Amino acid sequence: MNNIKIAFFDIDGTLIDMKKKMISEKMIKTLIRLKQKNVMICIDTGRCHCFW
């Protein structure tokens, strides 16, 4: 049984392929599957707000 309610993803190197500067097809499919299972998707980063 799936009890996961929320998933956090780091941006650099996890969510985004830093060489290609984009989200991989595999990650997009993973995010879609999580959303279909009503898992809340959150973006997290270790960078300070000055990078944004």
DSSP string covering 17-51: BTTTTB--HHHHHHHHHHHHTT-EEEEE-SS-GGG
Global pTM value: 0.72
Chain centroid, CA 22 distance in Å: 12
- Mean pLDDT, the chain, integer: 85
Please state the φ and ψ torsions of residue 44, each to the nearest 5 degrees.
-135, 155
In the chain the beta strands, taken as DSSP E runs, fall at 6-10, 40-44
pLDDT band at 36 (very low <50, low <70, confident <90, very high): very high
Looking at residues 8-31, what average pLDDT do you find?
A: 87
* Rg of the chain over all Cα atoms, to the nearest angstrom: 12
